[in-house]
Amino acid sequence: MKTDYIGKPTSRVDGALKVTGTAKYAAEFSADGLTYGYVVSSTIAQGTIKKIDLEEALNLKGVLQIFTHENVSGLAWFDRSYKDEDAVAGSPFRPLYDKKIRYSMQPIALVVAETFELARYAASIIKVEYTTESHISDLKENIPNSFKAPKGKVGFKPPVSRGDAKEAFENAPVKIASEYIHSAEHHNPMEIYATTVVMEPDGKLTVYDKTQGVSNCQAYISKIFGLSAKEVRVMSPFMGGGFGSGLRPQYQLFLAVLASLELKRSVKVSLTRQQMFSFGHRPASVQQMALSASPDGTLQSIAHTAYGETSMFEDYTEVVVNWSGLVYQCENVEQKYDLVKLNTYTPLDMRAPGAASGFHAIESAMDELAYALKMDPLALRLKNYAERDQNDKKPFSSKALRACYAEGAAKFGWDKRSIEPRSMREGNNLIGWGMATGSWDAMQMKATANAVLTADGKLTVGSGTSDIGTGTYTIMTQIAAETLGLPIENVTFKLGDTLLPEAPLEGGSWTATSVGSAVQSVCTTIKEQVFKLAKKVKNSPFANADLKEVNFDNGEISLKLNPSKTLSITDVMKQSGKVSIEEEATTMPNPIHMLEYSFNSHSAVFVEVKVDEDLGTVVVSRVVSAIAAGKILNPKTARSQILGAVVWGISMALEEDSVVDNNFGRFINHNLSEYHVAVNKDINDIEVIFVEEKDDVINPLGIKGLGEIGLVGVAGAVANAVFHATGHRVYNLPITMDKVLGLSE
């Protein structure tokens, strides 16, 4: 048996736990005397609470306490105590802080009762009087009040312009200019946000939270409630989907801890699905794109402006426009990114934040330009292929986008496409083929992992990261098993616990690169230790050998040149009298490489749609997604990640729309029946291709991360396919039947 697991399709190591219902999520932990919290949400978007009448609710037997701004005090004063690792510029939201209402569905009270049903009932009879003030909720209408997006968020790069895009645009022979509007989207992971705080007998807290970063939550709670790290242990062994929604601590965490400390009881607070629309979301945006080219298709200018919404209290930023200066070769680029303050909760990173919406505009505009040039859309992309990152003036560590275009197009049959819109048909369906490019950053963060090898040849590796469904448990187990040459069933990976060494937030597609590097490093150190011991055992076949001259495979060490000379790891441990070997390692990206190179993953997406000519309904019948993201650790789980991301792209393009009723400043479709996400019936053939991409620079594993790249480009490709099918370009997402038929914009 070979133990070279990296790159091999491997079933999830936590699969059995998930299919039997034994994997436990945040709301599924219990404790003696557990109490239940239920959140009351504001019904207005701007104003103050005049009166909040709790009497009737408090009189119910079994209702323990109701927390409001009137009885919560004594917490941290300064904004810095409420800032978390993913915080943006401004003042973080403080639940139950004062009588001010800053957005609709703001949490205004927490009822704690002996049962969930009683807490819910009590919440329903609380009477609230407001002084209502006028709210601001329309993004487009308020663009005149926009301001330059400030710095303040880790990883946010302000846009950079180069050359003179205005002049080039004026002088260019072929040009297009368009505006794109995206509705807000909500992450809506299937698991509802929940926190279970277990009050231990010694007064310490064990907090089971739905989060993409246990240490982020531990620090947040400690700072606000004045606790030491030792008094708060945060755990999140399983997370029922995140997509970015768990990058910042959500308000149920604050409320559950508050109640637990005040009542000296264990408390569980679950939000409702409706309340899943009461915190972060992908911001609505308005984008303006202007492109110009010479008749042969060479880009002369790119001008990209984006207006994003933010809250009244914080300035959320994401990278929307910078991508247009990155993906195509062009000397004249103008980028602008402004924010508009609305009565809404602060937006929050949602899968491929900035890129998902930015690329929709860029790639739709490139398609429009291709038609203006009477040129094949793929040929236009190849004509303007960027060999270097012109934004940062650096070479890419690797870029196999050409292979994505070639292999994706071949698999899709792009060469059989007739360029004219409305030229392909199947009965009453107009057929359209569209394509788009995608890119995402390949980032690595500082991460630490520890590992213990015991005398029985079992290895336990740990790092305080998350598995939000991405397959972290599995790929880390693969990396550890292969590095030390152990059968995979002898390796256990632990995560989601603040007792483990610290890992970065699980986001940005950097977990595989960051935590994977730390796991590889710590296992390499253990391997070196084992080999040192192996050299010293009696009659060791490796007495004069170097580590490079041996293989670690299937629990045995053997000489490469003479594989019959072997020693098992368990024998080495036994003969050396070792009970265990324990190590810890921290890894960081190579700082010199960081300065010298740009690191990006890329994709080419090809989409077929069928549009009913009379009804305007759009079915995505076929997708080919070709991905260049370095080495693929586990093709089985990696494929699933890309499949899921394509589903997200289809959902974004055709369905998702958090509708604001500007009369009330409120998301009115705040449930899963009216906020549409793709269901089984909406999804047809999806083909995933991972193109070969060798990268010796990025990290020793040669990996780039896959969480976001599969989504980027999909919405643009769908929109372009709809144009090809119908000859009518829909600029605003989602592309619904009314827009396809030209009945609305």
Partner 1 sequence: MLDFFKQASGSHETTLAPPPAEPAEVRLNINGQQHTLQIAPWVSLLDALREYIGFTGTKKGCDHGQCGACTVLVDGVRINSCMTLAIMRDGQEITTIEGLSHGKELHPMQKAFIDHDAFQCGYCTPGQICSAVGLINEGKANNLEDIKELMSGNICRCGAYTNINAAIIQVKGEVQS
Per-residue x/- marks for partner 1, 610-639, CB under 8 A? --------------------------xx-x
Would you please indicate which residues are annotated as catalytic (active-site) residues?
708
CB of 477 to partner 1, least distance (A): 15
Answer positive or negative: Cα dihedral of 561, 563, 568, 574.
negative
- Which one, 22 or 418, has the nearer CB to partner 1? 22
- What is the smallest separation between the CB atom of 241 and partner 1, expressed in angstroms? 4
Considering the complex, state which of residue 13 and residue 526 has its C-beta at the smaller distance from partner 1.
13
CA–CA separation, 371 and 178 (whole Å): 14
Residue span binding partner 1 (CB under 8 A) among the ranges 217-225, 425-433, 677-685, 724-732: 677-685
Between 527 and 670, name the residue whose CB sits nearer to partner 1.
670
Region of 20-28, 279-287, 307-315, 595-603 interacting with partner 1 (CB under 8 A)? 20-28
Q: Does 132 bind partner 1 (CB under 8 A)?
A: yes
Helices (H), 451-544: 472-484, 511-536
Q: Which residue among 16, 154, 379, 743 contacts partner 1 (CB under 8 A)? A: 16
Sign (positive or negative) of CA dihedral 399, 468, 633, 462 = positive
The residue count for the chain? 745
Distance of closest approach, residue 23 Cβ to partner 1, in angstroms: 5
Applying CB under 8 A, the site for partner 1 has a residue count of 79
Binding status of residue 8 toward partner 1 by CB under 8 A: no
- Token reading at 673: 């029946």
- Which residues touch 438 (CB under 8 Å, ≥6 apart)? 355, 359, 602, 603, 604, 605, 709, 711, 712, 713, 714
412 contacts: CB under 8 Å, gap ≥ 6? 433, 435, 606, 608, 622, 624
Tell me which stretch binds partner 1 (CB under 8 A): 52-60, 333-341, 506-514, 614-622: 52-60
Q: Does 14 bind partner 1 (CB under 8 A)?
A: yes
Q: How far is the CB of 427 from partner 1 (least distance, A)?
A: 16
List C-alpha distances in Å: 254 to 196, 220, 238, 587, 687.
11, 9, 20, 32, 43
Omega within 30 of 0 (cis) for the link into 92: no
Helix (H) or strand (E) holding 289: strand 285-293
**C-beta neighbour count of 534 within 10 angstroms:** 25
Tell me: does residue 495 bind partner 1 (CB under 8 A). no
Q: Which of residues 498-537 bind partner 1 (CB under 8 A)?
A: none
Structural contact between residues 193 and 270, judged by C-beta atoms closer than 8 angstroms: yes
Beta-strand pair 666-667/660-661: antiparallel
Q: DSSP letter at 185?
A: B
Contact 616, 741 (CB under 8 A): yes
Q: Is residue 677 within the footprint of partner 1 (CB under 8 A)?
A: yes
Among 21, 74, 577, 591, binds partner 1 (CB under 8 A): 21
4, 30, 154, 489: which one binds partner 1 (CB under 8 A): 30
Residue 186 engages partner 1 in binding (rule: CB under 8 A): no
d(CA 148, CA 421): 39
**Four-CA torsion 280, 260, 46, 90, nearest 10 degrees:** -60
- Give the whole-angstrom CA distance, residue 574 versus residue 454: 10
Binding string, 448-487, against partner 1, x = CB under 8 A? --------------------xxxx----------------
> Token digits for 490?
């002898």
Q: Smallest distance, Å, CB 415 to partner 1?
A: 26
Q: How near is the Cβ of 734 to partner 1 at its closest, in Å?
A: 16
How many whole angstroms separate alpha carbon 286 and alpha carbon 510?
28
Q: Which of 241, 421, 487, 727 binds partner 1 (CB under 8 A)?
A: 241
| Measured distance CA(60)–CA(55) in Å, rounded | 9
- The stretch among 17-25, 428-436, 593-601, 726-734 that binds partner 1 (CB under 8 A) is 17-25
Residue 208 binds to partner 1 (criterion: CB under 8 A) = no
Q: Applying CB under 8 A, which of residues 7, 8, 24, 65 lies at the interface with partner 1?
A: 24
Are 62 and 115 in contact, with CB atoms under 8 Å apart? yes
Q: Token pair for residue 368?
A: 């429009």
Candidate residues 273, 336, 394, 593; the one interacting with partner 1 per rule CB under 8 A = 273
In the complex, what is the shortest distance from the CB of residue 214 to partner 1, in angstroms, rounded to a whole number? 16
> Which CB sits closer to partner 1, 44 or 327?
44
Q: Which residues pair with 53 in a beta bridge?
A: 127
Which amino acid, one-letter code, is at 242? G
CB-wise, 290 or 642, nearer to partner 1?
A: 642
Of residues 111-130, those binding partner 1 (CB under 8 A): 115-118, 121, 124-125, 127-130
**Rounded to the nearest 5 degrees, what angle is found at the Cα of 345, between the Cα atoms of 315 and 677?**
115
Site for partner 1 in 573-592 (CB under 8 A): none
x/- site string to partner 1, residues 57 to 96, per CB under 8 A?
A: ---xxx----------------------------------
394 contributes a contact to partner 1 by CB under 8 A:
no
Going 207 to 209 to 212 to 216, the CA torsion angle's sign is: negative
